[in-house]
């Protein structure tokens, strides 16, 4: 039977790559929209609250590729939030729209990331010393009461 180009390819690697490509495309769309939203948020006076931003920008639509959402509905999920800067507001919106990063396929070199405090981030799970690294003097792995 000749290949007409419309046949389904059940190759698992190809299916997986297709899913990764769709996630990456959605991330790029969301970040593009957030650039536009960030420009709007830059016009607001800070500090401000999610409620104040919702009044000002709630009717603005965000095109997420497979859906459209209003900024008002995003701010509805950010009840009683206070933002000291446009960047804080933008990050809160970004996390509401995307959740946690799914993996390296969502990495964007153009987006600066602030350092994360490891102890707070991992809930205090035990970490081993990296090869060639130095151990944190305030964190003695031998004193950890948890079983290995």
The helix-helix angle for 12-41 and 86-98 (nearest 10°) equals 150
- In whole angstroms, give the CA distance from residue 139 to residue 23: 37
pLDDT tens per residue, range 5-36? 566 667 888 888 988 988 888 778 877 887 88
- In whole angstroms, give the CA distance from residue 112 to residue 91: 11
Query: What does pTM read for this prediction?
Result: 0.51
Query: In this model, does residue 101 exceed pLDDT 80?
Result: no
């Amino acid at each position: 039977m000749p290949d007409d180009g419309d046949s389904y390819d059940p190759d698992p690697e190809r299916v997986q790559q297709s899913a990764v490509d769709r996630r990456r495309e959605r991330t790029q769309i969301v970040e593009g929209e957030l650039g536009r939203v960030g420009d709007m948020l830059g016009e607001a006076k800070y500090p401000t609250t999610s409620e104040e931003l919702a009044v000002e920008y709630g009717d603005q639509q965000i095109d997420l590729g497979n859906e459209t959402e209003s900024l008002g509905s995003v701010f509805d999920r950010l009840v009683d939030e206070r933002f000291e800067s446009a960047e804080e507001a933008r990050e809160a919106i970004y996390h509401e729209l995307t959740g946690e990063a799914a993996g390296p396929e969502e990495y964007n070199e153009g987006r600066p990331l602030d350092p994360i405090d490891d102890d707070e981030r991992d809930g205090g799970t035990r970490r081993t010393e990296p090869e060639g690294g130095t151990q944190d003097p305030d964190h003695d792995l031998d004193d950890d009461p948890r079983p290995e």
